[in-house]
Chains A and B, each alone.
Chain A
Amino acid sequence: MKHGFRQCMAWLHTWAGLIPGWILFAVFLTGTAAYYRGEISAWTRPDLRMEDNGPEAAMLGLRELQRIAPDATGWLIGLPTSSDPLLRLYWRPPGERRFRDGILDPATGRVAEAGRTMGGEFFYRFHFELHMPPIWGRWLVGLCAMSMLVAIISGIITHRRIFADFFTFRPGKAGHRSWLDAHNLLAVLALPYHLMITYTGLLTLMLMYMPWGMQLAYKGDQQAFIAEALSIAPPPRPARQAAPLTDLAPLVAEALRRWPETGVRRIGISFPGDANATIVLGRGDRHELAIRRRELVFSGTTGELRLATGNDAPAVQTVGVAYGLHFARFELPFLHVLFFLSGLAGTAMVGTGLVMWVAKRAPKATERRHFGLRLVETLNLGTIFGLPIAMLGFFWANRLLPGMLDHRPDWEIRIFFALWLGAYLHAALRPGRRGWAEQAGIAALLGLLLPAVNAATTRHHLGVALPAGDWLMAGMDLGFLGFGLAFALAARRLWQGADRPVATRQGGHLRERGI
């Protein structure tokens, strides 16, 4: 047992931070990318973007669903928004539990066949499922997030001089000192964000982690809880009698009249063509902080309004605000940038913490490095630079894989994991600063050349996007350039000092990543 409260907390901070650290780094980085999930999805399918989200777009989606899945038991249309400008279609074939999905090509009015990709959804889902079976991934991420919360609070207790060192950064100092400065700065200056994002992240999956309150209050009837708390109408039962679907356009017009600012985001149709069909219109949630569901439920045959859901109870409001803070879906571009930068600060905080663990324990040049240290070093390099390499590689794969390749989305993900695994192997084979320099160089090349690859493969490159004021495409390309440049600076700096042992490396490369 360690002596004294502070030493005890320092011990807790070290291990609660290190053990889940690599997963936390990945969760932070992919989550930060997921702030631009819609934009990433649009960048990966630039020709499918559309702006219209009124009744005509809804009709376009409906006609295509009627054509490709007339006997489906459920249809769902996701209408475009300015930051997620794709019209998504989902349908559930009879006898299947899961929905299939596609994106409507506005040029043809058909589901696009070429260039299928998971786009931003991949990073978004990876952020809380780690590409594992959802239940396992969510529990693992939840445990890591809990550990993160413990690390944040024990870190605050451990940090003796929060105010005295508030502005202190000494990049020239030897050993782990400047890493400690960088870690402290990244943690303290963005502390409100770190606490908020970790806590609200746990809240988003609270019903899975702690279902007992709900089970007790609703006597195990989860449907009743969902209907009441989340304002999701219970699904109808099919009558097994055919009846034509009512016209959708007036229903959308009615919803737009009720929600002039937010518009309609989702259209769900249960049992189309059945006498008991229902049409549910879901409100957009991009104009207020609290994410709360509001739905209009219509009869699918007569078009009569049956129910307007929505719950303003204080608990629902509170959870809605927590969700709103975590997802940051609101359409305020400047706030989005702030969240993105804060997310990068969080990523860098975890990264500097991991590097510091090694820097603190680095043996003298003559001593042998024991296995634990080598393992942590390898995992550090393979995660901190390997994951950005894999993520940039995902975008390369998106542009370079043949459009009609079978299982194309899976191939993109395979390339992502192959690159990441390669980074770990490289890290194991090339210990020390040289390995870091090489991976930073690869990441720099991948980032800097990506706009060129985009220019060679699409008509939406910077030369077109910038003059046209197409900030979505231009912003993504400029972002890649920015990350490439930051990695190039890091690579140069690491290369220059490559003869020195890794432990005395000076702080900086993480700070250069746009923070």
Chain B
Amino acid sequence: MAPLAFGLAYAGFLALALAMDRHHRDLLGGVPSRMGRLLFRGGGWMLLGLSIAPCCALWGPSFGAIAWCGLLTLAAFTLVSLTTYAPRAALLAAALLPALGLATWFRLS
């Protein structure tokens, strides 16, 4: 379930980045509309919030919260590295990572 948490956190951060003009321009081109910005922002926060659930399910509330902080950090670093050096992979990863996380979860359970 750790990959699922990581994937959700990554997707969440990517959505938050896409709500910002500079990153939106670099990744998708153009600036987001008002509606788009709200959607990206809302979706991003929602995904970040969701990503704590697998952590707590896997490690319990106390270790889960710690692991969540660490995973958020790791996801944000991954996002920054990808957007800087491989912007196309950065977009692709947002879809792939949560899917991969779900797949490993189902395989395990």
Known: A190-B73, A345-B73. A334 touches B2 (CB 8 A): yes
Q: Which residues from chain A contact B79 at a C-beta distance below 8 Å?
A: 167
Task: Determine how close the nearest CB of chain A comes to the CB of B28; give it in whole angstroms.
Answer: 14
Contact with B along A216-229 (1 / 0, CB 8 A): 00000000000000
- The yes or no answer to A11 lying at the interface (CB within 8 A) is no
B73 touches A334 (CB 8 A): no
Q: Which residues from chain B contact A193 at a C-beta distance below 8 Å?
A: 69-70, 73
- The yes or no answer to A192 lying at the interface (CB within 8 A) is yes
- The stretch from A28-36, A60-68, A335-343, A489-497 touching chain B is A335-343
A167 touches B17 (CB 8 A): yes
How many B residues, CB 8 Å from partner? 24
How many A residues, CB 8 Å from partner? 26
- Checking A166, A190, A332 against B59 with a beta-carbon cut-off of 8 angstroms, the contacting residue is A332
Contact with B along A146-169 (1 / 0, CB 8 A): 000000000000000000101111
Q: Which residues from chain B contact A464 at a C-beta distance below 8 Å?
A: none
- The yes or no answer to B96 lying at the interface (CB within 8 A) is no
A169 touches B80 (CB 8 A): yes
Query: How far is it, in angstroms, between the C-alpha of A404 and the C-alpha of B13 when the chains are bound?
Result: 55
- Checking A164, A330, A338 against B71 with a beta-carbon cut-off of 8 angstroms, the contacting residue is A338
Q: Which residues from chain B contact A189 at a C-beta distance below 8 Å?
A: 73, 76-77, 80
Q: Which residues from chain B contact A171 at a C-beta distance below 8 Å?
A: 84
B20 touches A167 (CB 8 A): yes
Task: Determine how close the nearest CB of chain A comes to the CB of B104; give it in whole angstroms.
Answer: 13
- The yes or no answer to B105 lying at the interface (CB within 8 A) is no
Interface contact tally, CB-CB below 8 A: 63
- The yes or no answer to B66 lying at the interface (CB within 8 A) is yes
Known: A167-B17, A189-B80, A325-B66. A335 touches B59 (CB 8 A): yes
Would you list which residues of chain B between 18 and 61 have a CB under 8 Å from chain A?
20, 22-23, 59
Task: Determine how close the nearest CB of chain B comes to the CB of A177; give it in whole angstroms.
Answer: 14
Query: How far is it, in angstroms, between the C-alpha of A104 and the C-alpha of B17 when the chains are bound?
Result: 55
B67 touches A334 (CB 8 A): yes
- The yes or no answer to B109 lying at the interface (CB within 8 A) is no
Q: Which residues from chain A contact B76 at a C-beta distance below 8 Å?
A: 166-167, 189
A342 touches B2 (CB 8 A): no
Q: Which residues from chain A contact B84 at a C-beta distance below 8 Å?
A: 169-171
Q: Which residues from chain B contact A208 at a C-beta distance below 8 Å?
A: none
Q: Which residues from chain A contact B69 at a C-beta distance below 8 Å?
A: 192-193
Q: Which residues from chain A contact B77 at a C-beta distance below 8 Å?
A: 185, 189, 345, 515
- Offer 30 A-B interface pairs, CB within 8 angstroms, sorted by A: A166-B76, A167-B23, A167-B76, A167-B79, A167-B80, A167-B83, A168-B22, A169-B80, A169-B84, A170-B84, A171-B84, A189-B73, A192-B69, A193-B70, A193-B73, A289-B63, A289-B66, A325-B66, A334-B2, A334-B67, A335-B63, A335-B66, A335-B67, A338-B67, A338-B71, A338-B74, A339-B70, A341-B70, A341-B73, A345-B77
Chain A residues at the B interface, C-beta cutoff of 8 Å: 164, 166-171, 185, 189-190, 192-193, 289, 321, 325, 330, 332, 334-335, 338-339, 341-342, 345, 511, 515
